[in-house]
Structure 1
Amino acid sequence: MIKASDMKRKLAKWAGKESYSGLMASFLKWVVLGALIGILTGSASALFLKGLDAVTAYRMDQPWLLYLLPLGGALVSFLYMKYGKNSGRGNNLILEQVRGGQETIPLRMAPLVLFGTLVTHLLGGSAGREGTAVQMGGSLAEGVGRLIRIDAEDRKLLLMCGISGGFGSVFGTPLAGTIFGLEVIAIGMISHRSLVPCFTASFVGNLTATYVWKVGHLHYGMGQVPGLSGLVLLKVCFAAILFGLTARLFSELCHAFKKAFTRLLPNPVLKTAAGGVAVIVLVFVAGTRDYLGLGIPLIQDSFEEGGVSPFAFLWKLLFTSVTLGAGFQGGEVTPLFAIGAALGSSLATLLHMYGPFLAALGFIAVFCGAANTPLACFIMGIELFGSEGAVYLMIVCIISYIFSGHTGIYSSQQIGIPKGSMLLMPGESYTLEEWKQRKRSKQD
């Protein structure tokens, strides 16, 4: 006769085996799916990066192309209006669907954003590349999900794979890409369940872009890292506050220009054309074309002692916010790198610190404040600049994240856990856009 205690032990042992086999099945499932998304996103990023290099080089050789910027922007806006469906909502659409939205992310988003971003850079718009990579990744992941008929919960994970795979492969930072896909969805909250799929997608995506398609990534050196002291920490904290406030300024200005352009010119085609004219005017006012495109030369100059003018970061901020506010396609991250690096370089003279060191801190911190992703940015800093300055990288990421407030470049980003206490009542949940509207209604 079997004792009850023996039966319980056997049942517990059997349940443990079942649980373990279930975990293994889930692990293998998401390694396979994550790798598939990584291959797709890595290949898409490689195509995009090679195309971006080609159109940028051609624009540099043909300065007259700048005067076609209004026409090119109008063409892209017309294509989105005619064929894009809800693709025009870009990254915000993907974030909403990860949180359980019921809309479909159309597969056409990938070719549309690829073409639109290449046109922006060919003709001189000031924009980045992460938005394009993330949108291509999300669109491709959605397409795979429909093909294999996944359920709603698995769809969320697959979309996060698309975000991580696109980000990691376009910047050559697989660890940062992993955490970015987890962290960008909701401020203050991370789903550890998504670690395996997001890491696999980002890691395989980077391998695919770098080693299969031979895409190269630029790297910069922060140079000599100062020793820890009270004075150095005080200077770094002061700079970090300015990085966070600059991130906030960038986010607010982008959203303000979007609203202003839409209010003045509700027609998307006319709106983008007007934005192209505004960028051309800015070129003549600034007296230089240094603030067009990604801003790579500005970043490179920022890592040289005395390489940028004191207000170069403000010019790049203005060029980019006008370009994106008018509806041109492209991301925000690389311009944010340029803005942060240029600001750090400028602050080095004021604070009597080594220029490349502060440029590296600004490079990471301004992006951190605008995207509200402190862990991803900290890890990216280590991947790009090494671990010697890890303490300083963490300090500037934390402070910039706090001082950027509840603003950001992704208006559909959810406030999972607010940055300050007593801001939300229990059970309340807002996106950054809803939070802004709530504050505005209280003031009215």
Structure 2
Amino acid sequence: MPRINLVEPAVMLATVLQWLFLATITGVIVGTGTSVFLHGLFFLTDSTAGIPLWLQMVLLPIGGLLNGLLLYYGYRLNSTGLKDSAIAAVHTQAGRMPFKTLAIKPVAAIITLACGGSAGKEGPCSHIGGTLASGLGRLFHLNPELQKRLVACGVSAGFASVFGTPIAGAIYGVEVLAAGRIRHDFIFPAIIAGVSSFQISKFWGIPYSYYQLHLLPDFSEALFLKTIAIGIACGLAAWLFVDMVRVSHRLFDALRRRMNLWPPMLPFLGGVLLAVLILFVPTDYLGLSLPLMDSALAGDVMPSFGFFWKTLLVAITLGSGFYGGIVTPQFVIGAVTGGALAPLLGMSPALGAAVGLVAVVAAASNTPVAAILMGVELFGGVAGTGYVAGAAIAAYLIIGHRSVYPDQLLAYPKSSWIQLQSGLPMGQEKVRLSYGLLRGISRFRLGRRLERLFRRHR
């Protein structure tokens, strides 16, 4: 009789037990940390909600200056030379993050949002998650590979806690590391950490909002194609969002170098610019803009240029040096874009807003799987999953090789017509057309012309 080898099953069982222990502890600690941050954020943003326009205009520059001072002097505490990016920690720092700067980004985000800066709340939560998980790994003296997985668990736990989507948040924390690849060995611990963080956040009283898409029609090819069209439009909106944030960073940095400005003055100037803009742009686009998203998901028709105003204010806020998250704005931009386009296509504005929200997250963050799961968890059931999935994948492809995360790596190109060097951060790789595909279509007159052009520029 063949010998039964029980070594491998025993090792895998030990792995499951190991991560049940480590990821649960990580989720509980991260969920507690993010809950403290969220309660502080809710208290202060509620305190400044509905203030007069003149006071809002005063608070924006003040908030910018406070951000600049906090980030400029606070990061001098980091003597380790390590980046405080969780993605960089996994890819290049063996799962290590600076611990002394843990509170800087959360405090800066609270200042940004309480003063009216246009940003999100999830960035500080993922930062808290990654930093606490990194510290926990060092406390347990984990090896570099386990340390990296634990940091990914912390990021997943942070996203699960802030949005109330434990599975989507868990997958987001893994999928965001590299476009085109998901580390399956990270998934189990990420889900355990995400569920644990979500449950402990509910225990600490964090409220969550979920939406029901009422009277959703039976699946039809015509409606599916319409949601694909919304996905394409949302991919273009995400493209604009990513590029405007990046250009804003460059413009403010160029201004600092040309005028030899003291760095904390940049977010102050950004606050002044925002204060001037809100004389012409509705204040609904300041802060988190969650009421605007809720209105879109309730079926209210959105303004055609609403996505642009939100994109512009976020680009100025983050590009000038305020700190805040960058996923919540994707929610708002997607919901507003979908809600504005849906009536033109003969669709329910609420369905358009839902698929738009998911599509922009899939595109700008390069996380289509997490975005689809987020649609299921936020909107309930699986009736609309086909519509959500089609829009998400279309947007993910349309945006091309761009990302809101500079440290996100590119694992595989999104098209076989494009050649890219894998393993480089998004935005650093050079896009090249595939010679093999051009040769394959060279029997056509256009194909032969493209082939000659490609040969000339190789």
Superposed pair shares fold, TM > 0.5 = yes
- Per-residue CA distance 1:219-246 (angstroms, 9 max, x = gap): 2233332333343222211111001111
Q: % of aligned pairs identical?
A: 34
Separation in 2, partners of 1:61, 1:239: 33
Deviations 1:280-334 (A, max 9, x none): 1111121x21111111110122123444322222111111111111121111111
Residue by residue over 1:203-223, the C-alpha shift from the partner in whole angstroms, topping out at 9 and shown as x without a partner, is: 00000001x202111122333
How far did 1:59 drift? 0.9
Aligned CA-pair RMSD: 2.3
The code of the aligned residue for 1:407 comes to: R
Q: Distance in 1 between matches of 2:325 and 2:221?
A: 37
> Which of residues 6, 9, 31 in structure 2 aligns to 1:42?
31
Shift of 1:430: 1.6
> Is 1:402 aligned to 2:397, yes or no?
yes
- Contact 2:248 / 2:320 at 8 angstroms: preserved in 1? yes
* Counterpart check, 1:384 vs 2:378: yes
Question: TM-score, normalised to structure 2's length?
Answer: 0.88
Q: 1:414 aligns with which of 403, 409, 412?
A: 409
Distance change >3 Å, CA 226–CA 268, structure 1 → 2:
farther
Which one of the candidate residues 222, 231, 239 is aligned to 1:240? Answer: 231
Q: Does 1:134 align with 2:129?
A: no
Question: Where is the helix percentage greater, Structure 1 or Structure 2?
Answer: 1
Alpha carbons 2:87, 2:408 under 8 Å: kept: yes
Give 2:446's aligned residue.
none
Aligned equivalent of 1:327: 321
Please give the alpha-carbon distance, in whole angstroms, between the structure 2 residues aligned to 1:209 and 1:255.
33
**Residue-by-residue CA offset, 1:56-79 (whole Å, 9 max, x unaligned):** 111114341541222222222222
Cα distance in 1 for residues equivalent to 2:430 and 2:422: 14
Aligned residue for 1:18? Answer: 7
Q: What's the CA shift for 1:190?
A: 1.0
- Listed as ranges, the gaps of 5+ residues in structure 2 are 434-456
d(CA) in 2 for partners of 1:103, 1:76: 27
Structure 1 residues 97, 305: CA separation in 2 closer, same or farther (over 3 Å shift)? closer
Q: Retained in 2: the 8 A contact 1:224–1:357?
A: no
Say which is worse superposed, 89-98 or 292-301, in terms of deviation: 89-98
* Pair 1:394–1:90, CA change in 2 (3 A): farther
Q: Is the 8 A contact 2:301 2:349 kept in 1?
A: no
Map of 1:169-188 to 2, 5 A cutoff?
A: 169-188=161-180
Aligned match of 1:337 in 304, 327, 331? Answer: 331
Match among 260, 263, 266 for residue 268 of structure 1: 263
Q: TM (normalized to structure 1)?
A: 0.90
Cα distance, 1:272 vs structure 2 = 0.9
Following superposition, the deviation at residue 132 of structure 1 comes to: 1.0
**1:11-66 CA-partner distances (Å, limit 9, x unpaired):** x53xx322222222221111111011101111122112212211111111434154
- CA shift at 1:342, angstroms? 0.9
1:67 correspondence with 2:58: yes
Letter in 2 for 1:382: V
Q: CA separation in 1, counterparts of 2:23 and 2:57?
A: 40
For 1:150-202, what per-residue CA distance to the aligned partner results, in whole angstroms no more than 9, with x for missing partners? 11101110110011000011100001012112211111111111122101110
For 2:218, which of 207, 221, 227 is the aligned residue?
227
- Aligned pair count reads 425
